[in-house]
Chains A and B, each alone.
Chain A
Amino acid sequence: MPVPDRPVRRLYIHVPFCSHKCHYCDFYSIVDTLDRQRAFTDRLIEELTALAPWSAGGSLCSVFVGGGTPTLLRTELWGELLAAIDRLFDLSTIRAGLGEFTVECNPESATEELFQTLVAGGVDRLSVGAQSFNSRHLHTLERRHDPVNVARALTLARQCGIKRTSIDLIYAVPGQTVDDWAADLGEALSLGVGHVSCYNLTYEPNTAMTKRLGRGDFDPIDEQTEIDMHTLAVATLGGAGLRRYEVSNFARPGQESDHNLGYWRQEQWLAAGPSASAHVAGHRWKNVPRLGDYLKIDDGGFAAIIDHEPPDAPRLLRERVMTGLRLTEGIEASPILEEVRTLGDAAAALSMERLAGVYVARGLMRAGDRWALTDGGFLLADGIAAEFMALIPEST
């Protein structure tokens, strides 16, 4: 097990339960027919207990509970979980309002009782999976909530003292028009959230939706419409004061998701729960994805892991470029180039500079030492990042 040289100050917890498996979603989640919530919570607390020493000596600056649908976890179990977190980790920074404790929330499962429990446990940010306010498109996505519940959940959260709110929206849903999308964006803004994530519908391999697409059950949105929707989101949200700070994320100044920025800036975080990914001291790994395995295998409290990647300077550099270019702030070029040279590949560093030159005015801005994508460049973030990454030598 890796030993971090500094306390890890971020924590991700994955709650795998869903009331229904949405057709487009490829996150690990299950419809829990066996009622394993109790077993899960116990096992999770055990894992957190094992992980906690890595955080000792530092107070957490962010906790993020995602899923699945975390709010499906019964309130009493939430109470136990939050108490355990409080006991095992130092939440002083978060409780002082200088950190961030987010829980993902399904609009249907919002209750006053739950929210009060969350607030008591230190939760100060709620991310609501609205996806759309249009019933037809929700139906296509197989989301079963009533759109009015989004507003209800947000109001309730604020009443209960959750200060920061965010909603997720999905666009490029088959059958959606640019006008439909404009309506969704307007609706989102009217809710007064400080943060919005706009994801284009992605056809992930092995999802039911992708199979249906393959069968020709429906037509995907054409490229131009998708670009128009993307551009509209940037303009509408930006116009309302929600600045884009990452490809798909918009926030009022100061309302950015600090936890997610931690991922994208290659910081360390602990991860608990099935399929959760961790990054500690240059190591990356993932917990076993299946709940059954997660419950069964107990490695001194730790979960069994898969896909472990030990520290590797070229890999870390590639990741830095990949996630960094997705941020509006971009990447700092000279330290990256310097590291590439240190890896013994001066030619690669030169090629990277040349490539940056190629993309200037084609999607990349160079501002001082920073390389950052423009609005146009963000549309091509994957391809551009891939080209830079390809230039970074493999470790030998």
Chain B
Amino acid sequence: MTEIRNFSIIAHIDHGKSTLADRLMQATHAVSDREARQQLLDSMDLERERGITIKASAVTVHHRHDGEDFMLNFIDTPGHVDFSYEVSRSLKACEGAILVVDAAQGVEAQTVVNAYLAIEQNLEIIPVLNKIDLPTARPDEIAMEIEQVLGLPAEDCIEVSAKTGQGIDALLAAICTKFPPPRDPLTDKARALIFDAIYDDYRGVVVYVRVFDGRLKVGDKIRMMGLDRTFNVTELGKHTPKPTKVDALGAGETGYLIAAIKMLGDIRVGDTITIDADPALEPLEGYEPPHQMVFCDFYPATDTAGKGADFEELRRAMEKLRLNDSSFTYQAVHSEALGFGFRCGFLGLLHMDIIQERLEREGGVHIIQTAPTVSYEVDVRGKGGKIKTIEVHNPADLPDAGVIEAFKEPVCKVEIMTPKKHIGDLMKLCMDRRGTFKNQMYVSDTRDMLTFEIPLAEIIYDFYDKLKGITAGYGTMDYDITHYRKDNLVKIDILINGEPVHALAVIIHRDRAQQRGRHLLMRLRKQIPRHNFEIPLQAAIGGKIIARETIKGFRKDVTAKCYGGDVTRKRKLLEKQKKGKSRMKSVGSVQIPQEAFMAVLEQE
């Protein structure tokens, strides 16, 4: 009889999650020393570089403890709360979580948010103090921090060094003894949770499942209960960490499934798989679609030679990436200022950055990104006074102010871990960002944890940079979107020479509209070249102008003499003057280089 343990490792970035996973696998002889060096759970360059894990996957190893055989299933989770939906989904497949905290750094914001997610799922948590080999490690103090902040007893912490291997045996023992076994089956009908899926060029979609009830066998015709689609299972297996085929996956087990599924769009992570011929009556706990919270436009950028602005290339790159990541959305748009592009939705800010980087790196396209906006909920009064709620994530799509009953924005619970001396400045920052103070918690003699409610829109606008600045890099933050809240929100239109530029429109709180409008205009003024006439720049709410700037026209450029008969020389001078301007976009008869938009948007 083999015991099964399903668990995840959660940690703040850089606290050693990947290193520890490798070390655990090595200790169970799943990988050789050489392989251990190549962090196996992370498969993409980009993740490696950023030190985060984007794609969850599962690895199965065997371990003997107290004469018993244990099958340990490591379920990897994304390391950032942008993906909190994905994190909690992965945690759903587990009974336990290892919470890794750097013994030199202490509890950070991400530690807290991830731990909360695990607690919400009723998981057993083993707190681990990592990097105790470091001379700067303060395991006792950090254990106290864990107790203070998360309420996990300090004496429960296991001290390890993922680097030297110290404490790993104790950790393996705790995994076997402290984590509970999978729950008993509730039914003999098969029910398996899809907790992740990846796209593989050779095998198509590879689905990661956790079987809760019954069993899945190769050859089964399976049914996705949410999507109501059927597929035939062609392969079942486990990563040990090399893919190893099995004939069946029983209750409590974790593995992968291949069933000639062509696209990630054909399945839904979170869905329940059952057997078509003998289906379960109820799916496992409800399916929640991933929610895109941050939106922006991507446009193909021209390089300095005016080449490369290829919409079709961008489209191909998007389609390809979408095969790998079904959690971002895109839709073709056209902007008077930037041409053809895509409006894209992301789980969060980091997700947006990752997608942009991958498009540029893997798709070889250069992208101009517009300022991100969040997804708003707008209550609109329709015919007969009926109220309808619509989702708006593009300022251009906002209905007339006249029919808007309520304008609601996503609000986040933000956890900030900071040295005590910066608390005053952080309070001010959060208040400036329309934040509401919720809680202040003692972490250690030098650090506190602050909890605020802050609109997501305020966080995506350079909040993190400001926080890092205020705390000299020592502060950390993480956030989780909790609810929508009504507020006095307005759309600012930016007009160039009287014509609105949709790509520059922003939704913002009325109190901050004027400042932001002025700010945008000032930047635009610096970027738009002078013309032969005066160009008014305006920021407006509805029809009302709230800020204006003027780009003075050239007043005089004429050179007196036409150089006698030397027409050529004069012509060349004028031709040179206009060179490179052919790539300009024309808005309200104002010629604007694409770079000007880029510069304005990039600084956003």
**A residues at B contact (CB < 8 Å):** 12, 27, 66, 198-200, 202, 223-224, 226-227, 230, 246-248, 263-264, 269, 271, 276-279, 284, 286, 307, 309, 315, 318-319, 322-323, 326, 358-359, 362-363, 378-387, 389-390
Contacts and interface: CB of A to CB of B under 8 A. Distances in A.
16 contacts: A199-B560, A263-B567, A277-B564, A279-B567, A362-B532, A379-B556, A380-B555, A380-B556, A380-B558, A382-B559, A382-B573, A383-B557, A386-B575, A386-B577, A386-B578, A390-B582
Candidate in B560, B568, B570, B582 with the most chain A CB atoms within 10 angstroms: B560
B7 to A, nearest CB: 65
B320 interface: no
B533 A387 contact: no
Contacts of A322: 567, 570-571, 574
B560 A378 contact: no
A382 to B, nearest CB: 5
B575 A248 contact: no
Given A199-B561, A380-B558, A383-B532, A284 B578 contact: no
A104 B31 CA distance: 94
A248 B570 CA distance: 15
A198 B561 CA distance: 9
B565 interface: yes
Contacts of B464: none
Contacts of B37: none
Nearest to A309: B568
Interface of B: 532-533, 554-562, 564-568, 570-571, 573-575, 577-578, 581-582, 589
Given A322-B574, A358-B589, A386-B575, A202 B561 contact: yes
Contacts of B556: 223, 226-227, 230, 379-380
Nearest to B570: A322
Contact of B554 (A200, A226, A307, A380): A380
Given A359-B532, A383-B577, A390-B582, A263 B565 contact: yes
The 5 closest A-B pairs by CB, nearest first: A199-B560, A390-B578, A277-B565, A358-B589, A386-B574
Contact of B562 (A66, A326, A384): A326
Contact of B578 (A66, A226, A319, A389): A389
B564 A247 contact: no
Contact of A269 (B532, B558, B565): B565
B568 A277 contact: yes
Given A358-B589, A383-B577, A198 B566 contact: no
B296 to A, nearest CB: 31
A263 B562 contact: yes
Given A227-B555, A277-B567, A389-B574, 13 more contacts: A199-B560, A224-B555, A246-B562, A247-B558, A247-B560, A277-B568, A318-B571, A379-B557, A382-B559, A384-B532, A386-B578, A387-B578, A389-B575
A206 to B, nearest CB: 13
Contacts of B558: 200, 247, 378-382
Nearest to B589: A358
A284 B557 contact: no
Contacts of B533: 359, 362-363
A383 B560 contact: no
A12 B554 CA distance: 35
